[in-house]
A and B are shown apart, each in its own frame.
Chain A
Amino acid sequence: MAWTWFHRLASPPHVYAFARRWTPWFGGVSAVAMCVALYGGLVLAPEDYQQKDAFRMVYVHAPTAWLSLMVYTTMAVAAAVGLIWRMKVAHAAAASCAPIGAWFTVAALGTGMLWGKPMWGAYWVWDPRLTAELVLLFLYFGYMGLRAGIEDPVKADKASAVLAVVGVINVPIIKFSVEWWNSLHQTPTVMQMGKPKMDFDMLWPLLLMFVAFALYFVTVMLIRLRAELLRRERNASWIREVLT
């Protein structure tokens, strides 16, 4: 009984139906949460005593940066599940994660640069977090490149899954190496990013934004997953049923 959910997860028609049913709910809650968090962050939250109003960029930068990493982890877990249990749905899920993650890495880099200009005096400095984020973007490119480079979809699934797992082992090592490298060449920063304690008025919009972005990711991933399933299960009879 305990494992039925797992078997259902392996069945494309069931996953498709689940995704279709729940996408509007996830999307709706996410949209409302995003709007409330935006209002809270831009209007209600007091200005930071050090960074003044510039700190408000945290409400867009932190969730995108967090999502860029979380999507990669999700992708690697889905890929590993696909490899270990030979689950087609898991491979499809991993494939639908990649473009979302790459876009959020771009967003994190862009908003980080815009935050860096007033805080560090330059759009780009070789800050360990920005550098690691850039390498993460290259990892996404490698993953998508490998997927695009292999014609046989089954082989593409498995090969890219191995790469995702290798990549996720490498991410902490990259993070450590970049921090170590940066500690040797530290340039004096104009102002320290972040500070130990945050007012509750500042904190709740941020936490709500994290929740909103997580739900948003689930929404977009489920939409992409449906598209992947329709493409992969080319002649399955359930497709005829869901399309009529």
Chain B
Amino acid sequence: MKATSLVAAGLVAVRDLRLAFRKPSQVIQPLMFFMIVATLFPLTLTPEMSRLRDAAPGVLWIGALLSSLLALEFLFRDDAVDGTLEQFALSGQSLTWMLFAKTCTHWLLTGLPLALSAPIAAAALGVPMEAMVGVVASLMLGSFAMSLVGAIGAGLTLGARRGGVLLSLLTLPLAVPILIFGARATQLAISGGDMAPPMYLLGAIAVLGVTLAPLAAAAAVRIGLE
């Protein structure tokens, strides 16, 4: 039973990757949004590099959070509209695994590129080069946890009007721990401290998310499809 579920999940992932290559705007737009948000902060705070460096963890994490919220809207919406999700639910395979695959693919297409391109924004905020590995690592782990939490919200808002604002309203309070540990890890990376403790906690949240979020997302999607 598990084997066919995993095969189905793999097929879903391959399909989503193919679709993304055909329609790259959904990958590029959140990334551009992140860059623009990061640029706005120096304009509103100060052009002084030393002060920007202090604000950098907050800027990077809030930018990443908003950008991933933007991207989350597309996680299930298109597939819900054209009936693909309904086919998934009726296929007899585990919907939980398929949605987990969708969430992971979604992170590969949005969270991972964001984390990898974060050094550009970070450099513009005066973050030293030695800190970049830490910045990328913390954003990678954090955006993965964020995708998992967000998948629940995306599933719940399928049946709602004005889904976008609602999605943010639901997801942001749940994402508070990710934001706290993630921003702290980035801050320690920049100041050259030991970033292991917040990274472990971020990892613990990601593990909890992997075990529980797909189940909740599947329940949410089923409710939306009824």
Contact = CB atoms under 8 A, between A and B. Distances in A.
Contacts of B212: 166, 169
Contacts, number: 85
Interface in A150-188: 150-152, 154-155, 158-159, 162-163, 165-167, 169-170, 173-174, 176-178, 180-181, 184
Contacts of A15: none
A146 interface: yes
B180 A177 contact: yes
A85 to B, nearest CB: 15
Nearest to B179: A177
With most chain B CB atoms within 10 A of its CB, the pick from A152, A166, A173 is A166
Interface in A104-149: 135, 138-139, 141-142, 145-146, 149
Given A149-B157, A149-B160, A162-B220, A142 B173 contact: yes
Contacts of B152: 162-163, 166
A166 B159 CA distance: 18
Nearest to A83: B219
Contacts of A159: 156, 159-160, 220, 223-224
Interface residues of B, number: 29
B160 A135 contact: no
A155 B174 contact: no
B170 A142 contact: yes
Given A138-B172, A142-B173, A149 B166 contact: yes
B47 interface: no
Nearest to A169: B212
Interface in B187-202: 201
B159 A178 contact: no
A165 B215 CA distance: 12
Contact of A162 (B156, B162, B181): B156
Contacts of B174: 139, 166-167, 170
A162 to B, nearest CB: 5
Nearest to A163: B156
Contacts of A178: 176, 180
Interface of B: 152, 156-157, 159-163, 166, 169-170, 172-174, 176-177, 180-181, 184, 201, 205, 208, 212, 216, 219-220, 223-224, 226
